[in-house]
């Protein structure tokens, strides 16, 4: 078989044969034609007063149905363009707003859709009416970046209708924020029965407790009781009732007026209560005292969307490589096998694009300038570029997708220098120094500014707080804390700064204070249950969690959680080992989050048993 002449031409030669500069000129020429209205041959009109002069040949690229509408028009109108009178087709475009028409015309000439959310909705309506597949796809892609609690259900329906990946993004938003969607979304009840069942049966449904599942069912059914109460029995079968308190089943669900309208649903619930009463004493329980079994549907715990990683620290007199992960659904800590070869304590920790970064610290023999990162998806550790300086007791934060390392001790003295890491170039860059040298301080970010509080400045324990403004590259002080604190934790929580625990030079502290940006003042908050310094903390599911530390006598393994809604600290399941100088972080939305939870531990045991049998 002989090759044709065209098939012998390489791709590179074809590229050379195309004058891309000329193609660009053509695009610019089309835009210029619209701007000057030269050679226009149609006037598009909407019922709400929209008027756009266009070239039919340009608009026809948007779809055949719009082209048919334009070509079928017979009426003409006399217009004046650039001082010249001419007749053009007068085309009325039904079912399209003037705003949508303007965006559509701009798109046809520029190839870019530019509008606000309202305008895109109007454009999408018009695109659906006129079967403009490319415009519909572009609108759906735009909405992926606009998904929120209020519109996620509506966008789910939209994504399904058009077979667009928008449906996956919207579904994930609903699943990850289910309680809030149930509570606040006006479109929640528009979910179909099948969609609601799929959500309730999803192991990754992010709900604090199973009671939320009932709240969702109740709201959905009550929207159309006459029709939906018949579906209540099947919805109740989606409940993981063994993971609910029997008192809730009996006193809340069983007494609800909905159950009076369905004898079948009432019978199902009574059998659930009986099963709970009969089997509770025989079941294995989790850290909350709730029955747990991954093989039994109604006992399965959910897989949390957020996982706490507790890495390194001082253990039995030396820095450790230990990593523990926390499953908030079962209130259990699990020792992970992801430990790397580099023991670490008094280090910084940050999450950037789903990767854990470990900054500085000490290995027990020297102060470190190293940066290591762990990818939980691949399970691999990597070493990255070293910092300019060695930093133990370093404070870290992320601003504009860059990791900032602030202060610390370099083995000789405490420093006020700052540097930041660019993950794209794998390089550190020096940043303006802080006003004060600080080690053992703590930092957080609020509204695109880094705040750093407390710490040691030579032999002085600081109560000062300063912030870094990226816009003008300056450090400025705010109102100091009420008490000096070193080895503390500073967190952003509920639009305030929280300074927790630490050491005031005389004793370890359990006290907590909060900075209100509106009043520019610090006020006391409920004390922690345990005194602690050189500990770590994080925010998970809108609650503060503090982990480990030193109580003035010994390292501790105690963990407690603070909830602003009841203003109480609650003891949680302790980490397995007493540790101070550790660092914790929260990873959200991991594709393999199961591996770091009760589910993951269960599957590991099963694999181990299979290997032994083989």
pLDDT per residue over 498-540, tens digit each?
A: 999 999 999 999 999 999 999 999 999 999 999 999 999 999 9
Arithmetic mean of pLDDT, 483-500: 98
**Within a domain: residue 269?**
yes
Residues 99, 209, single domain; the answer is no
Lowest mean pLDDT among 252-256, 457-461, 609-613: 609-613
- The pTM for the full model equals 0.85
Considering 114, 146, 178, which residue would you say is the last residue of a domain? 146
> For 577, what's the count of Cα atoms within 13 Å in the CB-facing half-sphere?
23
Residues 28, 137, single domain; the answer is yes
Residues 132, 30, single domain; the answer is yes
Arithmetic mean of pLDDT, 36-42: 85
- Range of 279's domain? 194-299
Considering 299, 326, 342, which residue would you say is the last residue of a domain? 299
pLDDT per residue over 135-160, tens digit each?
A: 999 999 999 999 999 999 999 999 99
Residues 73, 135, single domain; the answer is yes
At residue 613, does pLDDT exceed 70? no
**Within a domain: residue 243?**
yes
**Within a domain: residue 565?**
no
**Within a domain: residue 108?**
yes
**Within a domain: residue 264?**
yes
pLDDT at 15: 39
| Mean per-residue pLDDT over the chain, rounded | 90
Provide the percentage of residues in the chain whose pLDDT is more than 90: 73
pLDDT at 284: 87
pLDDT at 267: 96
At residue 208, does pLDDT exceed 60? yes
CB-based contact 449:469 (threshold 8 Å): yes
pLDDT at 110: 83
pLDDT at 175: 96
**Within a domain: residue 525?**
no
The string of DSSP codes covering 374-413 is EETTTTEEEEEPPPSS--BS-EEEEETTEEEEE--B-SSS
Residues 142, 199, single domain; the answer is no
Domain CATH for 207: 1.25.40.420
Provide the percentage of residues in the chain whose pLDDT is more than 70: 93
Considering 233, 268, 299, which residue would you say is the last residue of a domain? 299
**Spatial distance between the Cα atoms of 65 and 70, rounded to a whole number of angstroms:** 9
- Higher pLDDT: 608 or 549? It is 549
pLDDT at 537: 98
For the record, the structure tokens of 498 come out as 């929280």
Lowest mean pLDDT among 108-112, 442-446, 535-539: 108-112
pLDDT at 14: 35
Domain CATH for 94: 3.30.710.10
pLDDT at 384: 98
Residues 27, 121, single domain; the answer is yes
At residue 21, does pLDDT exceed 80? no
- Continuous H helices in 41-192: 56-59, 64-71, 98-110, 117-129, 133-144, 152-162, 166-176, 178-184
Check residue 206 and give left, alpha or beta (phi > 0: left; psi -120 to 50: alpha).
beta
Question: How many structural domains is the chain composed of?
Answer: 2
């Amino acid at each position: 078989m002989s090759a044709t002449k065209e098939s012998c031409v390489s791709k590179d030669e074809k590229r050379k044969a195309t004058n891309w500069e000329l193609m660009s000129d053509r695009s610019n020429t089309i835009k210029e034609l619209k701007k000057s209205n030269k050679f226009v041959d149609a006037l598009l009109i909407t019922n709400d007063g929209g008027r756009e002069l266009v070239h039919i040949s340009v608009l026809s690229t948007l779809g055949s149905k719009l082209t048919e509408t334009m070509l079928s028009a017979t009426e003409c109108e006399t217009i004046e363009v650039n001082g010249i009178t001419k007749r053009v087709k007068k085309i009325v475009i039904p079912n399209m707003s003037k705003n949508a028409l303007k965006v559509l015309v701009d798109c046809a000439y520029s190839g870019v859709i530019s509008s606000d959310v309202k305008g895109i909705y109007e454009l999408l309506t018009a695109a659906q009416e006129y079967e403009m597949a490319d415009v519909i796809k572009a609108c759906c892609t735009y909405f992926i970046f606009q998904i929120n609690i209020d519109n996620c259900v509506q966008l789910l329906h939209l994504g399904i209708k058009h077979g667009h990946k928008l449906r996956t993004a919207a579904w994930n938003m609903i699943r990850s924020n289910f309680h809030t969607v149930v509570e606040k979304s006006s479109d929640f009840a528009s979910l179909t029965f099948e969609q609601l069942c799929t959500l309730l049966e999803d192991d990754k449904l992010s709900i604090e407790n199973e009671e939320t599942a009932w709240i969702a069912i109740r709201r959905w059914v009550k929207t159309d009781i006459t029709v939906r109460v018949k579906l209540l029995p099947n919805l109740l079968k989606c409940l993981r009732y063994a993971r609910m308190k029997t008192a809730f089943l009996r006193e809340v669900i069983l007494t609800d007026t909905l159950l009076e309208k369905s004898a079948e649903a009432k019978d199902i619930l009574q059998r659930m209560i009986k099963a709970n009463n009969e089997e509770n004493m025989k079941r294995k329980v989790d850290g909350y005292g709730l029955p747990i079994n991954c093989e039994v549907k109604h006992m399965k715990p959910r897989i949390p969307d957020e996982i706490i990683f507790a890495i390194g620290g001082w253990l039995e007199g030396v820095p450790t490589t230990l990593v523990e992960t926390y499953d908030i659904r079962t209130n259990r800590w699990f020792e992970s096998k992801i430990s790397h070869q580099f023991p670490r304590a008094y280090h910084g920790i940050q999450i950037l694009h789903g990767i854990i970064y470990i900054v500085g610290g000490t290995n027990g023999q020297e102060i470190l300038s190293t940066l290591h990162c762990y990818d939980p998806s691949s399970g691999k550790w990597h070493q990255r570029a070293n910092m300019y300086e060695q930093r133990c007791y370093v404070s870290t934060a992320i601003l504009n997708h860059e990791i900032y390392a602030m202060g610390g001790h370099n083995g000789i003295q405490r420093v006020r220098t700052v540097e930041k890491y660019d993950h794209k170039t794998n390089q550190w860059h020096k940043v303006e120094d802080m006003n004060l040298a600080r080690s053992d301080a703590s930092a957080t970010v609020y509204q695109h500014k880094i705040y750093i509080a407390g710490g040691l400045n030579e032999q002085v324990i600081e109560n000062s707080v300063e912030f870094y403004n990226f816009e003008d590259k300056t450090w400025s002080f705010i109102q100091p804390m009420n008490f000096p604190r070193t080895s503390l934790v500073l967190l952003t929580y509920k639009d305030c700064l929280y300074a927790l625990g630490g050491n005031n030079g005389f004793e370890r502290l359990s006290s907590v204070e909060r900075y209100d940006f509106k009043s520019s003042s610090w006020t006391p908050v409920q004390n922690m249950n345990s005194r602690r310094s050189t500990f770590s903390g994080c925010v998970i599911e809108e609650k503060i969690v503090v982990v480990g530390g030193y109580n003035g006598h010994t390292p501790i393994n105690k963990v407690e959680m603070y909830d602003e809604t009841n203003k109480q600290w609650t003891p949680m399941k302790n980490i397995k080992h007493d540790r101070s100088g550790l660092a914790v972080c929260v990873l959200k939305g991991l594709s393999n989050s199961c591996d770091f939870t009760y589910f993951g531990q269960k599957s590991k045991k099963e694999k181990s048993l299979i290997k032994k049998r083989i």
